Each structure stands twice: as C-alpha cells, then as structure tokens.
Structure 1
Amino acid sequence: SGKVDLQEQNIVDIEELVKLCTRMEEACAGFTRFDFCQILDATENFSEKMIIGWGGFGRVYKGQLPHGLVVGIKRFDHRAMLSDFSNELQLARLRHTNVIRLLGWCIHGEERILVYKFMHNGALDHHIFDRIKGPLLDWSKRLKIIKGLVEGLVYLHKHPMLSIVHRDLKPNNIILECDMTLNISDFGSAKTLSPDVTEEHTCRVVGTSGYIAPEYAPRGVYSLKTDVFSFGILVLETISGRKNTILDNRGDTVGDLVRDAWRMWKDRRLHELVDGSLGHGYDIAEVAMYAQVALLCAQEDPVDRPAMTDVAAMLSSESMSLPTEPKEPSALSEGGAGEDTYINRSSRTIDITITSSATVLTRVRLIIDQEV
C-alpha cells in the first residue's frame, strides 16, 4: 500500500499531473505541495540573478523559504514534456545520501515546478574543469566523489521496487554539498526497468555527447549498462580534469579521453592521465585501479561492462590487481566525403540526417543536444 508505480503512467494533461503529484504527496513522507506565491517570493519573481543552472527541461533557481530553508527550484519550460516532469517525481520515494532529495511540487496554470534540497557547492563540472577550483579538489576529495557516485548508482540500479536508469549522467548533473558529498540529480530522462527486463528501446534518445553509450545513441537501446558507460566517463574526467570529446566525423563511439586513457593504461603511463593540478599528491596504484575500472565501464559492447555492484566490489577490494583487462577501443576511420557534424543546442529531441554524399546510404548521424 502507498506505492505509486510510475512505470506505466501515461500523463496526457495538467489535470492528470496534479492528481499524480497529489497521490505522491499522500504516499511519500516529506513530499509536499508549495503555493505558487511561495515560489515567487523565494526566487524574487524568478529573477535571473537567482539562476544556478539550466538544461534541456528548464532552469534551476536558488530560493529561500520563509522559515529560512534554502532550496533549489526547478521551473520546467514549455519545451519540456509532461513525462519529463513525471519522471522526476520518482525522486519523491527515493532516500539515499547520494541521490538528490525532492521536497515538493507546485503546479499553477502552465507552470510546473519542483523543489529540491539545495547543494551548496554546485555542480561537479564547476570544479573539475575550473582552473581555480580544480586545484582545490585534491585526490582524496576526488575519490570521495567517485565512491559516492558508485553508491548512488548501486542504490538506483538495485532499488527494491524498480531499477532506475538515469540516462543522462554527466558532471552538470552531479552536485556537491559543502563537505563534497555527492548527489545525483536531474531525473527528467530517467526510466525504470522491471526486475525481469534487462533492456528497453526508445525512439526519443536524450543525453549529452561524450557521455552517451554507443548502443543507446544510434539504436535507442538503454539498460543499466547505459549508466555504467557514463560512470566510466565521469571517473576518467574526475581523474584527469579533461572533457571527453566524441570525434563524430571519424566514427568515434567512446571519445578521445577514453582512447588516450586506454593507451596510457596499456603503456603504464597513467601518471600522464592525472590532472596536473594535483602535482604528486596522489597514489599511482589507486589511479591505476580506478582508471582500469573506468575503462572497463566505458567498453563499447555493454556485455563487456561490469554491473555497478561489481564495480563497487572491485573498488572495495584490498587487492590492487583486477581480474579483467579493458579491450582496446575501435580504430577511428579517416572520415568520409561530405560528412558534417551539427549539434542542436536548443532541443533534446533527436533528429536523423544522412551525412555522406555517396550514392549508397553509408551512415546515419544522430544530432544530440549538448549544453554549453
């Protein structure tokens, strides 16, 4: 009793969405409805100076409630589908240190708003890719972030009711508290899998270039291994302070960071992978273990990727040697005549274009939203 199963929800209008939110409020302790006037006061009428983040579904504002509680307020824009909002409602029934806490909701006319616990240190990308904040993120803090990400994903993938696939893991969606405790956020793209289902298909592929699993982008196939791939990329980026770039015009499926890291791992040059701002303040044996696990997670074939429970076991082992070696990424092509790359920054909807000038269809390109 009290369980609300979102897997088969077919939300077609605002009225149904209000009813769903009301049922979630009744079923989930600590999840409450906010008055729209409260939201306006907290955000100073959605002032631009209160914006702390944005994405494909809307903007996030910092707000302070009358009793002093600071919160994050997500205002969904007109491009967001009702299902994007209802997907996030899954968070109301989740309780984990490393998953963002959803506190409440507000629907007023066309306004769709969710209220979250506020995380004072912002998103991970503001730290690992920043010249000022990067050096402050020492090796122990980076390990804490990786371990928190592992624990959060194990919780989502092994949830007792339904396994949750995030589908859009990236540094922007990993937010940090003052003590660098990590929270996984932005579940607008999340999907649930029944215990007896290993993978599903979708015609609406969402995500960000550099983090999307090779089987997901072209075929719309997603599974728990989709998140495992993104996790591997996040670990390599956290170690190196580098972004993973997909070389679309050369048939790349995993990214330049994965290729470089694999070569460094093979040649035992992993000290070259480590963010230079760390100096010598790291344990090379730990770097080798975490990098190898990351490369195993970033394998092109999902069958070759470990489950997150296996990742947790490998990283908690006292042994620094791992039983499996990552396979070398596929070789890049030399590119083709008439190929071009276009990234649509205004929409998460996937378009398909033919990018070869040959008379025979040789390649299909997915155009994927990439945030600035």
Structure 2
Amino acid sequence: MAASELDQTWHKRHINKKVVVILVAITMFTIGLILGSVIYIRRKLEKPGKTNSIDRMHHTIKHEKKDTDLPILDLSTIDNATSNFSASNILGEGGFGPVYKGVLANGHEIAVKRLSKNSGQGLDEFRNEVVLIANLQHRNLVKILGCCTQDDERILIYEFMPNRSLDLYIFDQLRKKLLDWNKRFQIISGIARGLVYLHHDSRLRIIHRDIKTSNILLDNDMNPKISDFGLARMLVGDHTKANTKRVVGTHGYMPPEYAVYGSFSVKSDVFSFGVIVLEIVSGKKNTQFLDPFNQLNLIGHAWRLWSEGRPLELIDESLGDSIVESEVMKIVHVGLLCVQERPEDRPNMSNVVLMLNGEGPLPRPKQPAFYPHHEDYSSSGKCEYSSNEMSITLEAR
C-alpha cells in the first residue's frame, strides 16, 4: 500500500476513535443527568423534614452518646428476645408504636419500645428519650437499658415492669382492690420524689409534659416509676419556663396555661401530679367523670366536696377500712393545691414532698383550673383534641 493511502487510513481510524470517545462521554453524561434528576425529584417528594430528622437523630446519638453509658443492641438480639416482634408479646401501644415484652438469652426480661416507621412525631420522641433519660438515674424513673437504630429501626429497651401501668389498677373495678390506702399513699409519694429529681436534683432540669397514670409504671413491689420521656423538655441555665407553638400532651392532665397559651414550666408537671393524686384517691378518671348534679369533672367535684367540708366523700369505696382519714384529707388538700388555676399559686414538687410527709397546717387552696368561673380561657385560643386523646394542637386566633 502506498504511503499516502496508509496515512489516510490511519487518519480515518483516529477520527473514528475520537467520535466513539465523544459519543461515550455524551452517553455517560446523559445517564448521570437523568439519574441525578430522578434522585432530586424523589427527595423533593419525600415527607418534608423526615430525612433531616433522621440525620439529626443519628448525629445526636453518635456525638452525645459519649456522655452516657447507653449500649446499642443488635437488631438480631431484639428479634430473638421478642420472638420476631410477635403480637402475643405486645404490652401496649401508643402514638409512637407498640411496646413488646422480651426475654434476653440470659433470661433477663425487658420492655422493647419500637417506633412506628410512619410516625413523624416519633422520631423527635425517640431522640428525646435517648438524649434525656439515658442521663437520668432515680429509683422512681424507669431505667433505659439500650437502643437500636439498625436497618432504619428506632428501638428503645427498658427495664421490664411486671405490673405494667397505674391506670390498669385504679380505674379497674377488680384490680383497684389490690391497692389499699398504704399502697396508694406510697405510690403518690414515689411519683412526687421522681418529679423532685427531674425538676431540682438531676444535673438536667427536665419538664416531663406528659405525666399521667398510664405513664406511671409499677414494679414487683408496686413501686411507681415515671416513664415515657418522648415529650420531655430540658430547661437550660436558670430558666424555669418556656413557650411552644406546638402543644402536645394528654387531655385531662394539662394545665390551662399550657393547653391554651403553650406556656409550660415545672408547674405544668405539678398540675398533672395533682390530677393523678385526685384520681388515685377517688379511683375515677378525670376525663371520664361527670358529676350528674353539678356538671363538674373530677377536679371540680373534688373542689366542691372540699369547700363544703366533705372531702372524705371523694374516697374510692374499694379502699374500705384501710383508709387513714387524716392522711386522706391531707392528700386531697395537697392535690387541690397542685391543680390551682394559676401556676404561681401551685407549690413546687419539693414543697409537695414536705407537705406529704409533714404534720403542719397547709395553705388554703384557691379555685382550681377548669372550674366554672367568669374568666374564660377559651377566648384567647382554640385547642383541637385528637380522637385518642393523645395529642393536642394549639391554633392562635
């Protein structure tokens, strides 16, 4: 072949290689552009804030775990302990998801709180409990044993409470008979000591914001332990109160300043404690009781009886002869002091403990919250209650 022909052939091949390279580059760029667009669109369509919440939660667990001794368990260990989350092991279920009973390989019983993957609010609750309760240790607080975030699971492991929650006893016609007056007094005192620790004695100042009978668990000896810190908030420095536009909690246990204005403080928990006290004494649930003659809830009914000098009529009939009248009258008095309408009138929990254990006279309570009167809280805001009474949302007018 002539030299000129060889040169032309080489030139054509060189041009073809360039064309191939250019075509491959364009194809790869086009594919990358399409994939990038698909990923971007999918992320835009995802639930707002969900990815960020998960990222923040992982960041919190990773970087704040160094301040705690909270173990991280393998998902396989939890699967085995709960028989693959068998429905027969479910202890209860809330807005966050189900709670299972589990047994570890060493025979140790545990309670497994598994966050529902469809629960947006639950991500914040999970993070809250990991960060807060892992730093708290008190005989009247449920102890957290570990957590799991493997395979997108959000799981908390707690010590197992064999007698479950207080509401299963005091509102049940048969089980309430298992709680005589001495035991009820011990439960009230234990809850009060747990709240003193949260508000004053721990290195963190914690407002629980969801104190209610179903969040008071009972151990083998019926000692109370405060649980479920998903809605809890920590106050920094010398701050004693805060405000929120997102009011969450349980109808019947929230004070008016929180339910309507979104203002919460340690006195919010004091109010909730006062409701529990009246429920324990009476064996009646605040949100389900209605005085047929005066259209009053339990708080109003207790206030009326106390004002008329008949507080003993509030007592649960199942208590029988186990009551100590002087103690019952003192407990009702303390309960009414805790549910006073204005937070500044309510005692703090340290004073409540002194009142429960003391012999001296108590101050006269003022009119309780949610009792019929001239000042109408509903004129400044609107509360919407969910159907399961688990959460409340505040809307400003």
In the superposition, the TM-score normalised over structure 2's length comes to 0.78
Q: 2:162 aligns with which of 120, 143, 154?
A: 120
- 2:87 is the alignment partner of 1:48: yes
> Whole-Å Cα distance in 1 between the matches of residues 342 and 133 of structure 2?
30
Matches within 5 A, 1:242-253: 242-245=284-287
Residue 92 of structure 1 aligns to a residue in which SS? helix
- 2:170 is the alignment partner of 1:131: no
Q: Which amino acid aligns with 2:353?
A: A
Question: In the TM superposition, what is the alpha-carbon distance from 1:137 to its structure 2 partner?
Answer: 0.4
Partners of 2:250 and 2:392 within 8 A in 1 = no
Cross-structure match for 2:302: 261
1:144-175 deviation per Cα after TM superposition (whole angstroms, max 9, x unaligned): 10000010000000144321000001111000
Give the number of equivalent residue pairs: 333
Q: 1:17 aligns with which of 40, 53, 57?
A: 57
> Whole-Å Cα distance in 2 between the matches of residues 180 and 202 of structure 1?
35
Residue 286 of structure 2 aligns to a residue in which SS? coil
Residue 98 of structure 2 aligns to a residue in which SS? strand
Cross-structure match for 1:196: 238
1:160-214 deviation per Cα after TM superposition (whole angstroms, max 9, x unaligned): 4321000001111000001011100000000011232121111111111110111
Cross-structure match for 1:289: 330
Q: Which amino acid aligns with 1:57?
A: F
Cross-structure match for 1:272: 313
> Whole-Å Cα distance in 2 between the matches of residues 346 and 67 of structure 1?
38
Partners of 1:167 and 1:190 within 8 A in 2 = yes
Q: 1:144 aligns with which of 180, 186, 196?
A: 186
Partners of 2:169 and 2:175 within 8 A in 1 = yes
Judged with a 3 Å threshold, the aligned counterparts in structure 2 of structure 1 residues 218 and 47 are, in CA distance, closer, same or farther, namely same
Judged with a 3 Å threshold, the aligned counterparts in structure 2 of structure 1 residues 347 and 317 are, in CA distance, closer, same or farther, namely closer
> Whole-Å Cα distance in 2 between the matches of residues 351 and 214 of structure 1?
13
Q: 1:167 aligns with which of 198, 209, 212?
A: 209
Cross-structure match for 1:60: 99
Q: Which amino acid aligns with 1:42?
A: A
Matches within 5 A, 1:1-372: 12-29=52-69, 31-77=70-116, 78-81=118-121, 82-89=123-130, 90-245=132-287, 256-319=297-360, 321-327=361-367, 330-331=371-372, 343-345=385-387, 350-351=392-393
> Whole-Å Cα distance in 2 between the matches of residues 260 and 155 of structure 1?
31
Cross-structure match for 1:359: none
Judged with a 3 Å threshold, the aligned counterparts in structure 2 of structure 1 residues 269 and 102 are, in CA distance, closer, same or farther, namely same
Q: Which piece of structure 1 moves more, 139-148 or 238-247?
A: 238-247
Q: Which amino acid aligns with 1:172?
A: S
Partners of 1:25 and 1:33 within 8 A in 2 = no
Residue 322 of structure 2 aligns to a residue in which SS? coil
Q: Which amino acid aligns with 2:342?
A: D
> Whole-Å Cα distance in 1 between the matches of residues 258 and 288 of structure 2?
14
Q: Which piece of structure 1 moves more, 218-227 or 53-62?
A: 53-62
In the superposition, the TM-score normalised over structure 1's length comes to 0.83
Q: Which piece of structure 1 moves more, 218-227 or 260-269?
A: 260-269
Partners of 2:384 and 2:392 within 8 A in 1 = no
Q: Which piece of structure 1 moves more, 118-127 or 50-59?
A: 50-59
Cross-structure match for 2:20: none
Judged with a 3 Å threshold, the aligned counterparts in structure 2 of structure 1 residues 126 and 350 are, in CA distance, closer, same or farther, namely closer
Q: CA RMSD in A?
A: 2.6
Q: Which amino acid aligns with 1:35?
A: D
Judged with a 3 Å threshold, the aligned counterparts in structure 2 of structure 1 residues 348 and 314 are, in CA distance, closer, same or farther, namely closer
Q: Unaligned 5+ residue runs, structure 1?
A: 1-10, 249-254, 354-362, 365-372
Judged with a 3 Å threshold, the aligned counterparts in structure 2 of structure 1 residues 123 and 348 are, in CA distance, closer, same or farther, namely closer
> Whole-Å Cα distance in 1 between the matches of residues 354 and 187 of structure 2?
17
Judged with a 3 Å threshold, the aligned counterparts in structure 2 of structure 1 residues 284 and 132 are, in CA distance, closer, same or farther, namely same
Partners of 1:264 and 1:273 within 8 A in 2 = yes
1:347-371 deviation per Cα after TM superposition (whole angstroms, max 9, x unaligned): 9564467xxxxxxxxx97xxxxxxx
Question: In the TM superposition, what is the alpha-carbon distance from 1:65 to its structure 2 partner?
Answer: 0.9
Q: Unaligned 5+ residue runs, structure 2?
A: 1-50, 291-295
Judged with a 3 Å threshold, the aligned counterparts in structure 2 of structure 1 residues 341 and 219 are, in CA distance, closer, same or farther, namely closer
Partners of 2:287 and 2:297 within 8 A in 1 = yes
Structure number with bigger Rg: 2
Percent identity among equivalent residues? 43
Question: In the TM superposition, what is the alpha-carbon distance from 1:22 to its structure 2 partner?
Answer: 3.5
